[in-house]
Chain A
């Protein structure tokens, strides 16, 4: 089941998605992290953040809206307290960071580089839940600038996490790669909204929020397809992936690995279950090596 993503060797192509698994270690032994290909931590910012006022989530058909607002303990706490607990494990460690501008992104990446123990860094260019958060991945020039600033700080593989909330993701993907991204994560949440008509109010304290879960899987798959055709891989796919069947759809469409996200809120063992189910599912189709399946969907 081993795959290689931007030179990072994963024991299998299943990761947990940022923001849906905490930092992983706090869930052991309820979850068995060593069965995952990789663990993407919740977004970390320069300073600790309390996040948005509640209510922060609302269930929708086959999914949910969230506007957590990047609650996190800050980069220092992440590097000092969390990263050391992730060293020497069977899974690969991906940090996910968000800054306010190219410089603050670069500082975060530089700090991670210094800390060590990080196999890949995902740049959250597309969190919809903080002021201005979406800008970096709806604007090709900004995306390129942020990635380039980060590139200058590290040789650790960088992944730009893209938004689906653009007319065409291809130019953003191209810009991120030009800026020096080793790979792309597709996709972050889809912007949505829920209204309580009796109260004449939004269901969430933030007016708009990010939609995730199986409801957005077809959108994520479409973006992966567009990005693959525009720039190729490697792509980390995210968006409603909850089963091994889902995972293989994305691998065929060109993703090198998948991230299980909101499904973990429903079933905290979803990522390890997806990883465990892959071999038998592949065998049932006569596929011996998962790499033989990746990107086999014809491009046109």
Chain B
């Protein structure tokens, strides 16, 4: 068990004001928090671990990818999540004037390089949450021009396709696929990715994935088969967010030899390389 990777000096634990809370799409909440100290520290792919301030239930924090660090209002951080249980319900019920307790930024961010590769961001449902910020930072860092990014959004149905407009605003080409064929390509995100890759034949590609585990496993298989370097942002039930409670472990290949070890999604993740992740 590695005692490395976390940089506690970069992590803050604080209470903050809720600036805004609204329904971005049916069942999908956008929560805007006032985090002027934390905002500049956030790297694309990191997450915040939050809970309503001053309550006993829900007891544990919930981890959410950072969806946006908007230029205005300064210091705001936006999180995007779907309401699925009592924890997300309570957090979705926070309103301006209430307070949240926030721990972050946590986890290892996405890595990127300006090597001319096309960055394909593959999202399943609410797994799209970290990608508008990643696209923005890829472009802002001068690493990757918008035309060399593709957003591939898969969802069960049209109403569950989130964030198209964010990619449009960034000038990032966006492909949509739905399981029921109600919008775009009729099929899942990974099938759609295979089609997008056909169109990019001959160009170096880097894949970023985030979404439900079955989708990510299929995406990992695709990456391995096509010998494409990929990074997957994965989600696991977690308690502390700091690698201490050892809840959110996944199996990762040892650097040398055939064996494996556990790494925590909160601390060594949430972003893992497709080559080493064994689940």
Question: Which A residues are closer than 8 A to B by beta carbons?
Answer: 20-23, 25-31, 50-51, 54-59, 61-64, 66, 68, 71-73, 213-214, 262, 264-269
Contacts and interface: CB of A to CB of B under 8 A. Distances in A.
B243 A57 contact: no
B1 interface: yes
Contacts of A23: 3
Contacts of A54: 236, 247-250
Nearest to B247: A57
A26 B3 contact: yes
Interface of B: 1, 3, 6, 8-9, 11, 13, 51, 56-61, 87, 101, 103, 236-240, 242-250, 261-262
Given A30-B9, A54-B248, A268 B262 contact: no
Decide if the interface of chain B is mainly helix, strand, loop or mixed. loop
Interface centre among B56, B101, B103, B240 (most CB of A within 10 A): B240
Contacts of A26: 3, 6, 8, 243-244
Contact of B249 (A27, A51, A266, A269): A51
A3 to B, nearest CB: 26
Nearest to B51: A266
Contacts of B101: 267
Nearest to A28: B8
A265 B245 contact: yes
A233 B141 CA distance: 61
Contact of A71 (B1, B9, B240): B1
Nearest to A215: B59
Nearest to B12: A30
29 contacts: A20-B245, A21-B244, A26-B243, A30-B9, A51-B246, A51-B249, A51-B262, A54-B247, A54-B250, A55-B237, A56-B246, A57-B245, A59-B58, A59-B60, A61-B57, A62-B57, A62-B59, A64-B239, A66-B245, A66-B247, A68-B247, A73-B1, A264-B240, A265-B60, A265-B240, A266-B61, A267-B13, A267-B101, A268-B244
User: Majority SS of interface residues in chain A?
Assistant: loop
Given A26-B3, A30-B8, A264-B240, A68 B262 contact: no
A265 B266 CA distance: 12
A27 B244 contact: yes
Given A27-B244, A213-B59, 8 more contacts: A20-B245, A23-B3, A26-B244, A59-B59, A64-B60, A214-B56, A265-B244, A266-B61
Contacts of A268: 13, 103, 240, 242, 244
